Amino acid sequence: MANKRNATTIVAILAVVVLLLWRPTVIIYGLQAAGLYATIAIPMGLILGIVHIVNLAHGEFMMLAAYATYMLCQSLGIDPYLAMIPVAIVTSAFGFLVYKLTIRQALKAPELNQLILTFGLGIAITQTMNLFFTSQTRKMSFGYVSASIDIGELSFGVYNFVFVGFAILMVIGLRLYLTKTTAGKAALAVGQNPKGAAIVGIDVDKTYGSVFAIATALVGMMGAVFITRSAVFPTVGSPFTMKSFCLVAMAGIGNIPGILGASVLLGISENFLKAFRSLRGWSDIVFFVLIITVILGRSIKGKKA
């Protein structure tokens, strides 16, 4: 087993070195894409791992945070990074409210009800924003987004590495929270066995509420960072919901560091295909083929064991 893992690591390192020499951009842009994927998927993974809900309104929370950031920054003339904390607090409060008013009421119902409930929430949120803000996109422009580095002939943007940093911080932070704090340990216990946790005296409902609030706070933070690189419009979050869901499934439920790994794998593979001219249109397919492969591979391995 240990040998096998060593071999895998060596192959992975070799592949990265070869890629760096042949097409450095594949690694650079692959990591940048991975950072973005992971930062948005991790909060969903947290909710799915502990509350066991697939939140189809996940991207919509990010969209709301992005709009909140936009309005705050436009009216006060501040940078989104300054707005990050207040927006996270507001989004978290909204997320907690949504949890209390809707999701909590459906927790005893079958899983599918919760899924469709969040689907309905997603529609209602997107369309309300569309009504007030129209579908016209809004974008603020910041000089630092175009920061770049030259290495020989190659010039590339470095700003998106911010997302890699946030992803790593999130993984470490959540790990510390879940293993070192009392509340975090309780959350982990609830995630593994809610009934058992209730028996030993953990307030399951409170734990769910706080996990939902933490996850939406993280989504809110990322919404603020997201707007620095991307335009905001009512449907901006929707595609990320599905991508996040796929990434979480690929990592395996409850495996938060795994989400980062899955994102890196996907980001690099996508950019690998994009490096070939004729294959460019097919880069989307990698995502889904990899997901199926990983899920099937794990299911076969699981059956053997």
Q: What is d(CA 43, CA 219) in angstroms, rounded to the nearest whole number?
A: 6
Interface with another protein (CB under 8 A), residue from 50, 64, 186, 236: 236
* Contact positions with another protein (CB under 8 A) in 150-169: 150, 155-159
CB under 8 A: which stretch of 124-132, 163-171, 190-198, 206-214 binds another protein? Answer: 124-132
CB under 8 A: which stretch of 75-83, 179-187, 194-202, 282-290 binds another protein? Answer: 282-290
Length of the chain: 305
* Contact positions with another protein (CB under 8 A) in 55-114: 102, 105-106, 108-110, 112-113
284 counts as binding another protein under rule CB under 8 A: yes
291, two tokens: 């997901």
259 counts as binding another protein under rule CB under 8 A: no
CB nearer another protein, residue 44 or residue 186? 44
280, two tokens: 């460019």
Closest contact distance (angstroms) between CB of 271 and another protein is 7
Burial of 249 (0-12, 13-18, 19+ CB in 10 A): middle
CB 19 within 8 A of CB 264: no
Interface with another protein (CB under 8 A), residue from 119, 177, 198, 255: 119
Closest contact distance (angstroms) between CB of 24 and another protein is 11
CB under 8 A: which stretch of 1-9, 82-90, 133-141, 187-195 binds another protein? Answer: 133-141
How many residues touch another protein under the rule CB under 8 A: the total is 81
Residues 6+ apart with CB under 8 A from 247: 37, 38, 41, 45, 259, 262, 263, 266
Interface with another protein (CB under 8 A), residue from 6, 9, 134, 179: 134
CB nearer another protein, residue 13 or residue 279? 279
Q: Which amino acid is at 160?
A: N
* Contact positions with another protein (CB under 8 A) in 28-47: 29, 32-33
Backbone angles phi, psi at 151, to 5 degrees: -125, 105
CB under 8 A: which stretch of 75-83, 85-93, 201-209, 223-231 binds another protein? Answer: 223-231
Q: Which amino acid is at 134?
A: T
Closest contact distance (angstroms) between CB of 1 and another protein is 24
Sign of CA pseudo-dihedral 141, 145, 147, 152: negative
Identify the DSSP state of 145: G
Q: What is d(CA 153, CA 24) in angstroms, rounded to the nearest whole number?
A: 12
Q: What is d(CA 164, CA 34) in angstroms, rounded to the nearest whole number?
A: 7
